[in-house]
Amino acid sequence: MRVLGIDPGLRNMGWGVIEVSGSRVSHVANGICHGTGSALAERLLALHAGLVAVLAQYQPDAAAVEQTFVNKDGAGTLKLGQARGVAMLSLAQVGLQIGEYAPNAVKKAVVGVGHADKRQIDHMVRLQLPGCQIAGADAADALAIAICHAHHLQSAGTLQQALAKAAG
């Protein structure tokens, strides 16, 4: 089963694809979709096009997106929410159910503590996916989101159902 994780961002949207077989998790691919252009609509369109290409190439069976963290900058939070909306729309267009995880839940699932920093996430992702070349911090976060979703699917007992659906 292939799981896609997405770390939403307006300029850089990280993505990571892992393969899950029982309790084994392996790296498939990762990268960053860039929101290019000066206007917000242009950036959102570029992000959508990038994610559509990732979905077509890697054809995941499951997907997860990090929830938006509300910060002091309300306008920034709203813009990030629009990028997250593009990610969710792209996934919904291909019929994927979407897992959503708070940043602290992802960190706890991958690192073991909810307040890990970027270096700790990168380190633990590399330990869990030996030999993978990570395209950057946003891609490492996306791989962590995919790993978190894989753990959630396993613990919820839905992994076998999803595997049967993917095989059938």
Q: Which of 19, 66, 122, 141 is catalytic?
A: 66
Task: Let me know if 66 is a catalytic residue.
Answer: yes
CA angle 122, 13, 11 (to 5 degrees): 115
- Compute the distance between CA of residue 95 and CA of residue 61 in angstroms, rounded to an integer: 9
Q: Which of 19, 122, 138, 141 is catalytic?
A: 138
Find out whether 151 and 17 touch, Cβ atoms under 8 Å: no
CA angle 21, 122, 20 (to 5 degrees): 5
What is the pairing mode between strands 12-21 and 24-34? antiparallel
Find out whether 149 and 142 touch, Cβ atoms under 8 Å: no
Task: Let me know if 138 is a catalytic residue.
Answer: yes
Q: Which of 7, 19, 61, 141 is catalytic?
A: 7
Task: Let me know if 19 is a catalytic residue.
Answer: no
> Which of the residues are catalytic?
7, 66, 138
